[in-house]
């Protein structure tokens, strides 16, 4: 898929991995609608991106992925502004084992909500142009992080949901590919003060510190490059891409 003239929606776009995905898509010719709850960070980012890429290539819409109403309004505004949606990156996520129900609502239900609302606009069977959805899971979506079991569950859910949607879309003729990225540790705000985010498991925080020192951390640009690969390579559907400091590897899942 060539990105020139295509429209992307990125959730959690105001900073970190979402910002890097946004910049990567813009640099490769797409228009990008940034959805986030952090209005100040997003507005500053869009101001800078507009100077670099032009006023008509970006749009920020305040949107909490926990709200179907806000997602519906954001996608409708996107279509009204840019004529359609070709790419969706469900990237927004949090780490909070204290408020674990909020983690589920954002990390897993937010991906499902975003996907189902976007389907109404992207599905070729309902007047859409088709396209691609790339969801942000984690290596914790493939194996357990013992310090954050609910976070682990949400990311496993994102992997499973994405792979099932890939199959459903192909079997139904929606014209939409679904893929998922599974990064290891990435140098963003997300990793700041992990102890405070692990709730009843904070006594295990040294496990994470040992894992990070062993695994190292990725740059956000490493992750964004992998998203670009899954967006542009039209052979990719139902793929999970592990991204770690030593490289990246498509996951081979057991077949039934």
143's contact among ligand L6LC73OR, ligand NAI, none, with CB below 5 to 8 A by partner kind, is: ligand L6LC73OR
* Under rule CB under 6 A, residue 179 binds ligand NAI: no
Helix H or strand E segment including 10:
strand 7-11
In sign, the C-alpha dihedral spanning 241, 242, 247, 250 is negative
Interacting residue with ligand L6LC73OR among 135, 184, 226, 237 (CB under 6 A):
184
Assess 79 for contact with ligand L6LC73OR (CB under 6 A). Answer: no
Q: Is 151 a catalytic residue?
A: yes
CA 180-17-247 angle, to 5 degrees, is: 60
In the DSSP assignment, the letter for residue 254 is P
Q: Strand pairing of 7-11 and 87-90?
A: parallel
Structure tokens at 165: 């949607």
Residue 58 contact among ligand NAI, ligand L6LC73OR, none, beta carbon within 5 to 8 Å by kind: none
**Phi, psi dihedrals of residue 230, rounded to the nearest 5°:** -75, -25
Of 103 and 237, CB closest to ligand NAI = 103
Position 66 contacts ligand NAI (CB under 6 A): yes
Contact status: 185 vs ligand NAI (CB under 6 A): yes
State which of residues 1, 28, 38, 77 lies at the interface with ligand NAI (CB under 6 A).
38
Residue 185 Cβ vs ligand NAI, minimum distance, rounded to whole Å: 4
Using a 10 angstrom Cβ sphere, with 0-12 exposed, 13-18 middle and 19 or more buried, the burial of residue 94 is middle
Does 251 interact with ligand NAI (rule: CB under 6 A)? no
| Total chain residues near ligand NAI (CB under 6 A) | 27
Give the residue from 9, 21, 199 showing the smallest Cα distance to 94: 199
Task: Please give the backbone phi and psi of residue 87, each rounded to the nearest 5 degrees, phi first.
Answer: -135, 135
Verify binding: residue 201, ligand L6LC73OR, rule CB under 6 A.
no
Residues in the chain: 256
Q: Which of 3, 8, 10, 17 binds ligand NAI (CB under 6 A)?
A: 17
- Residue 64, interface with ligand NAI (CB under 6 A)? yes
Query: From CA 76, how far away is CA 78, in angstroms rounded?
Result: 5
- x/- string (CB under 6 A) for ligand L6LC73OR, residues 142-181? xxxx--x---------------------------------
| Candidate list 92, 133, 165, 176; residue touching ligand NAI; CB under 6 A | 92
Q: Could you write out the DSSP letters of every residue in 90-136?
A: E------STTHHHHIIIIIHHHHHHHHHHHHHH-GGGT---EEEEEE
The yes or no reply on residue 136 touching ligand NAI (CB under 6 A) is yes
Binding site for ligand L6LC73OR (CB under 6 A): 95, 138-140, 142-145, 148, 184-185, 190, 194, 208, 211
């Amino acid at each position: 898929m060539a990105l020139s003239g295509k429209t992307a929606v990125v959730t959690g776009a105001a900073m970190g991995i979402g910002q890097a995905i946004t910049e990567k898509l813009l640099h490769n010719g797409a228009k990008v609608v940034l959805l986030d709850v952090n209005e100040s960070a997003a507005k500053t980012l869009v101001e800078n991106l507009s100077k670099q890429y032009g006023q008509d290539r970006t749009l920020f819409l305040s949107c909490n992925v926990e709200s179907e109403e806000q997602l519906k309004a954001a996608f409708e505004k996107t279509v009204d502004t840019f004529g359609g949606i070709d790419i969706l990156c469900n990237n927004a996520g949090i780490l909070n084992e204290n408020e674990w129900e909020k983690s589920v609502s954002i990390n897993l239900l937010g991906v499902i909500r975003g996907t189902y609302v976007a389907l109404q606009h992207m599905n070729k069977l309902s007047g859409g142009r088709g396209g691609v959805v790339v969801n942000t899971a984690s290596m914790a979506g493939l194996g357990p992080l013992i310090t954050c079991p609910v976070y682990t569950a949400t990311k496993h859910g994102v992997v499973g949901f994405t792979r099932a949607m890939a199959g459903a879309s192909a079997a139904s003729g929606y014209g939409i590919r679904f893929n998922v990225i599974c990064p290891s540790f990435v140098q963003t705000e997300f990793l700041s003060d992990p102890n405070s985010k692990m709730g009843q498991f904070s006594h295990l925080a040294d496990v994470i510190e040992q894992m990070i020192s062993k695994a190292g951390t990725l740059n956000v640009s490493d992750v964004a490059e992998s998203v670009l690969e899954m967006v542009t390579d039209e052979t990719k559907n139902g793929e999970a891409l592990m991204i770690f400091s030593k490289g990246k590897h498509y996951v081979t899942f057991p077949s039934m």
